[in-house]
Amino acid sequence: GAVVSQHPSRVICKSGTSVKIECRSLDFQATTMFWYRQFPKQSLMLMATSNEGSKATYEQGVEKDKFLINHASLTLSTLTVTSAHPEDSSFYICSASGTGGATTEAFFGQGTRLTVV
């Protein structure tokens, strides 16, 4: 299957700093990528839909100025957590679908464990 690579896998940062997470589709082009957040023992909650060459679409309740998303190419989307606080500590995971016409399988990155201290 297709490969989605996410980096870093773990990051610890101080409160008030910003953290950038990268999501790359390695062997296919992804016009759309999705960013999810997962708290311990909970489900994956969609944060935003990242569209190549256009602004991201954020889910209700997600602050777009805090979670900056950039999708500058068909193989790379980035999520920047700005002015991070301890409550932003979570598992962030991206997924990407191919550019095919039918509903296609989503491929997940390995996730990023963010700890804000």
Partner 1 sequence: GENVEQHPSTLSVQEGDSAVIKCTYSDSASNYFPWYKQELGKRPQLIIDIRSNVGEKKDQRIAVTLNKTAKHFSLHITETQPEDSAVYFCAASKRAAGNKLTFGGGTRVLVKP
Where does this chain bind partner 1 (CB under 8 A)? 1, 32, 34, 41-46, 49, 51, 91, 93, 95, 97, 102-106, 108-111, 113
Beta-carbon contacts of 1 under 8 Å, excluding residues fewer than 6 positions away, are 105, 107
Q: Which is nearer to partner 1, 34 or 67 (CB)?
A: 34
Q: Which is nearer to partner 1, 17 or 28 (CB)?
A: 28
Least spacing, CB of residue 44 vs partner 1, in Å? 5
Nearest residue to 19 via CA among 74, 77, 68, 87: 68
Q: Which is nearer to partner 1, 21 or 93 (CB)?
A: 93
The tokens of 100 are what?
A: 């095919």
Give the DSSP per-residue string, 17-85. --EEEEEEESSS--SEEEEEEE-TTS-EEEEEEEETTS--EEPTT--TTTEEEEEEETTEEEEEE-S--
Least spacing, CB of residue 53 vs partner 1, in Å? 14
Least spacing, CB of residue 83 vs partner 1, in Å? 26
Q: Which is nearer to partner 1, 19 or 109 (CB)?
A: 109
Least spacing, CB of residue 84 vs partner 1, in Å? 20
